[in-house]
Structures are given as structure tokens and as C-alpha cells.
Amino acid sequence: RYIKFPTLPYDLIHHIDMHMRFIDEETVIVGQYPDGVADGPQIDENIEYLVNEVPTAFGNTYNVIRIPMPPDADNQYPDNGGDYRTYTNSIFINKTILVPVYEERYDTTALRIYREALPGYNVVGIDCNDIIPAFGAIHCITKLIGVNSPLWIAHSRLRDTDDTENAYQARAIIRHRSGIAGATLYYRTAPDAAYTAVPMVLEDGQENTWTASIPAQPDDSEVQYYIHAAANSGKEQVRPLVAPEGFFRFRVDALRPAFAPSQTEICPGGQVQFLDQSAGNISSWQWAFPGGQPAASNEQTPLVSYPQEGTYGATLIIGNGQAFDTLSLETAVSVTGGLTPYFESFNEPLSGNTWTAENPGADAAAWTASNAGPCYQGALAMDNFNHDTRNTSDFFRARFNLSGLSSPTLHFDLAYAPYDEEYFDGLRIRAITCDGAETLLYEAFGAGLASAPATTEAFVPNGCGQWRQEAISLEAFAGQPVTIEFENAGGYGNRLYIDNIDISDPQLPNQPPAVALVSPLDGTVFTGSLPEVELRVTAEDTDGIVRKVDFFVNADSIGSAPFPPFDFNYTLPAYGPYTLQARAIDNDGAGAFSPAVQITADPASGATFLPGSAGISFEPFPNPASGWLNVRFDSRQAAVVSIQLFNALGQRVLAEESGLMPGTAFRQLAVGHLPSGVYQLLVSGDGASASRKVLVE
């Protein structure tokens, strides 16, 4: 027979292998474009003609498996000048099938379709990006050479059935020029079971048709089988060629609907292919896609677009001419325009985050949250040191909606040290638009990526000085959703850290940071020699991070702390009162001042006085103290005082109230349980407070 299909408008070489690939006598893999794109309409017409008008050599209907036709690197299809990328231009070489591949995000689906249709075969992807512009891939540039004296086995695969009472008859045409000595069918009903042999009988000597029956099987069974034949010359052959590791298979069961979308999250206007995974002898498919276009379909693997944001379900009804069964998924596809630009500090595990990590190799090296060496509490880390990551890529990504923005900018911090000049890693950052177009925003490797010197030890940043901030303009993507993707290009080098990812724009509102001085305490009086005062603050930013803290004494700037924990030491230049303040600056440039703190430096006088009419003074001793701290009080009149002790972190570790009579009184405080260190003794009474440093040994 000679079947001629109408010419495809955009296939300039008019080769059927550019969109069709027969994988056995009755099964054909056919390319599928999005609705109305390129040669898609004509291919659909050709399939309809093949299925409805042309029987197989065994008198059956062809089994058609659809496979997506991917766009080119610029996200264009042939009707817009794109390359004629195809997965059907493949070729069998004994037990291997070579399949053209182009981009991993498209290739994964295509290779899976081949592997599911051809169990046991070695399905190998071959990069054809350099040759596909010449309108051809693997099949177009190769020529198969047949074996000498072939033993030919032609077989119509047994198809799914719901018959649990009658045996299943398998037929094969078997020929060899020396004649056939015998043939055997082997079957099993469990992957780990031994095959059962069933001798085949020569049913028609003129047509060389051999037959065997597989016993009826119960519902919910999968039967795996293959055929072995021996020629009179001694030559042997099996079908499929990969048997017994590979096999033909069919299911014996009632209808069992199952399906999955090719993507579960898309942009508004994006497309999803629904992949039928149902079991049973299916002859019809009825789909319903609320909110989708089309809203209904009778195809086995329909392509559906969703114009509006939201979460959408899908329903599949399958039938075999006598019965029907239904499956509905309430949440099949999520259509999102992306996150509002925000700040990400990776202080929480990635699994509870808005970012998605992808580990294509499913190996031990993956992006994970880390608290080792970050400058700002937490970071995301890739361990290229303990795992051989050569020739691997690991990703994390999130989609952002840049609508309404005119000058968005991506900021992030990184820390990296290569192992040496031979073993190093790289970082790539891409922007991916909703149509799949990718733009490389950033690429650096080895010394060009490093923020610290090379080291043959596992790299852990020793401080904020081994981090670096990068800034990348996203202005080209303003006004649209875009996915930001980070890629670790592994080289078995060293650890890479990413932190503080921020998408900012002058049009975005920014909340100022909050800052407070926690040491010294307000009202502290320093006596004796002029002290070096340790200024400590708490600083936080709800929509970003604090980039630095400036310190002021009597409204004059005395310096800045650029990294957490934002401590600063300052020696008071003279005795007298001082007003202290701190100002925090966030990653977007907003600033805020702390409440003022008043301190006083007094010459040595022994006792410390509390301002007020009661004339209260106190003096701690011994100082340093060990076990017990005594406090002597003098007061002109009866009073009640509050006695508090604070550690170097500003935490209160002791507190009590005590009544004083006019004159001198002593109080004893237990400090033996406290860690050694410097403490502040704060005494309050009669509306005034004063403090003294105390050393606990």
C-alpha cells in the first residue's frame, strides 16, 4: 500500500519523519503543535484520515501517540520563522533509539513518552540544535543497514481489554529463508515473576502465521509478553528486540481514568497539555476544562490555554463503547501572574518558601537553607565541595509580577571561594518570560565569581566581609510577569551561598527599619576614668534588611557599623552628660533613628547618687564580686528602691525591691550562679535611676 498525505505548509523537505515515527506495525508517534500553530492543523487532518480510513496490515486501527513539537531557542515555531524542531526524527539502532533533543524543559516530556511506549529500550537524547536549522535531525542524516539473513517477526500488539473470561490470542507472522523450526510466546503478570512459556502453533503455513493463547486474567492485571522464534538454520530472534528485559504489554481491567497536566503552574494565557494516563480498553475521551480554552475536547491529549489568573480543575470521562468512568481534579492548573516583588532572606527552610528548587539529577547536591557562615542569619547554599557536581546543574526559581514597575532591579548577596584553578563552579541567572523565552542576566565562574580567596577546605564565610552584593537591571521585563532562575553550574569546587534577594523599584513602597539602643541603658552614670562605651543596638526591617547602622553622640556622627550585629565602641572624650542615638539604613535606602539615650561620665567618687529629694546614693562592693555582691545605700529619708542586674546582652538576670530607712543600709545579692562577665547594676527610686558596672568572677 502507498499512503500519500497532503503536503505540510511549513515542512520544506516534505519528509514524513519530521512529524511521524512508527515504532511498530500499528503504533505511530505523531508531533503535536499548539492549536492553530504551524503545521498542527494539517497534521491533525492527516491523523484523522489515517485512523478513520486506513487500517493496519492486521486490519486494526492505528494507535496514535502524540508528542509535543517544541519551539526554537527564540520561542518561535516554523510559521514565525522558527526552526522545525521535532522529536519524531529518531532512529532505532538494535536495542537503542536515538531521539533528537533541544532544551531540557521540553526534552523531558518527549523522552518520557518514548520510554513509556518502548519499555526496555535504551532511549538516548542527541543534541540536534546545530543541525535542525537545515531541516533535519537524526533520521535525516543516517541510513540503517539491515542484518544478513534476517529472521522476521511481525506482530500486532495485544491491546487493553476488559475481558476476564476468555483467553487472549496472539498472532505473529514469522519468516526465515531456511524456514521456522518453532516459536514460543512467553508471558508474566508481575514484573518480578518468571515468564511462562506457551508454544506457538503454525496456524497458516502459506502466510507463515503462528498463534498462541494467553490464559484469561483477573481484573486489574497487566500482562507482559514477548515472542521467541528459531529458524531451521539455528538463528534465533525475539520481539521486541529488548526481550526479555523489554516486552509488549496490555492491561486487563475495567476502565480507570487517570491524567496529569504537563505543567501545574503557568502564566495567564499559557498552555497546558493534559496527558492521558488512563487504563482500560478505551475508545473515547471526553474532557471538560472550566475556564480553559477550549472548554471541552474529545482528543486523547488536548492542549488547553488559560487566559485569566486562578486555580482551575479538569474532568475526564473515558469510555469503551459499553461503559464510562469519570475522574475530576479540583486543582489541576494554577494560573498566576507571579509574586509581588519582595525581599527574601532565606531565614526559613526552602520547602516553606515561595521559591522552588529543582535537582534534576536527584542527587545529594541540592540548594538547601543553611545557617553556616551567613552574614544575615540564614542563606541558601549549594555544597559543591562534598559532592561531585561536575557537569550538573541545580536550580531555584520564583515568578514575579513586574506590572506597574518601570525600573525594577534585582539585588542579591553571594559568597563563594573556588577550590583551586582546576576545580571551580559557576553561577548563572536567567529571566524567563511567560512565553518561555530565556535571557541570561548573569554568568560568572571560578575567580570571577569568588568573594573570598580559593581554599582547599570547605568554604564557610568567616564574616560579612566575604560576601558581595550584585545588582542586575530588570528594566527589559518591566510591566510583565517574569521568572527569575538561579543555576549552580557544578564543577566539584566549593560551597556557594546566596542571600538577600530583593527586587526593588522606586515605585515600590518601602517600610523604614526599626532601631533601638540596648546598651548602655538610658540614665547610666559612668564613674572613675573616662570609659570606652560599647554601643549595641537591635535593628530590623520588615520588608528587607538593615544594611548599616550609624551612631551619633550629641548629634555628631561618630561612625558606622556595616554588618550585623552592628556594635560600635566609643571612648567618651570628657566628663559630663551625653546623648546617644543610632540610625539604621535599609537595603532600599530608607533610614530611621532610635530613641535617644542619656548617659553621664562622672569622676571617681565612690558612691553613685540618684537625683531627687530623697538623696539616695549606693555603692556596690566588692567589685569584682564572687558569690555575693553587697550594696551599701545611704538615704536622707525613707524610700523604696528597685535593684536590677543586667548582663552584657541587656537581659535582666536579677530584680528585687527594697525599702530603705533614713541612714545607711546594706543589701546582699547572690551572684554566684551567674556566668563571669561585666554586668550593669541599675538602681531606681524617687523617680530617678542610676547604674554602675559590676564585674562578676
Q: Which residues pair with 360 in a beta bridge?
A: none
Cα angle 256, 259, 260 (rounded to 5 degrees) comes to 155
Report residues of the chain scoring pLDDT below 50.
352
d(CA 380, CA 390): 20
User: 343-504 in CATH: which number?
Assistant: 2.60.120.200
CATH class of 16-141: alpha beta
pLDDT on residue 490: 94
CATH homologous superfamily for the domain 514-601: Immunoglobulins (2.60.40.10)
- Listed in sequence order, the residues at least 6 apart from 65 whose beta carbon sits closer than 8 Å to its beta carbon are 27, 28, 29, 30, 113, 117
The model's pTM? 0.47
Q: What is the DSSP letter of 464?
A: G
Among 1.10.287.90, 2.60.40.2550, 3.40.1190.20, 3.20.20.70, name the CATH number for the domain at 606-696. 2.60.40.2550
Sign for the pseudo-dihedral over CA of 120, 20, 285, 275: positive
Residue 33 in contact with residue 67, Cβ under 8 Å?
no
Residue 386 in contact with residue 425, Cβ under 8 Å?
no
Residue 198 in contact with residue 187, Cβ under 8 Å?
yes
pLDDT on residue 56: 93
Best CA proximity match to 153, nearest among 243, 54, 214, 89:
243
Looking at the chain, the domain(s) classified CATH 2.60.120.200 span 343-504
Q: Which three cell numbers stand for residue 471?
A: 545588582
Looking at the chain, the domain(s) classified CATH 2.60.40.10 span 152-252, 259-335, 514-601
pLDDT on residue 350: 59
d(CA 153, CA 212): 14
CATH homologous superfamily for the domain 259-335: Immunoglobulins (2.60.40.10)
Q: Give the CA dihedral 68, 73, 75, 78, nearest 10 degrees.
A: -70
User: 152-252 in CATH: which number?
Assistant: 2.60.40.10
pLDDT on residue 374: 63
Phi then psi for residue 665, to 5 deg, are -140, 155
Task: Give how far Cα 165 sits from Cα of 91, 156, 168, 216, Å.
Answer: 40, 21, 10, 6
Task: Write the pLDDT tens digit of every residue in 429-441.
Answer: 999 988 778 999 9
Region at 130 (left for phi over 0; alpha for psi -120 to 50; beta for the rest): alpha
Q: Which three cell numbers stand for residue 484?
A: 527569575
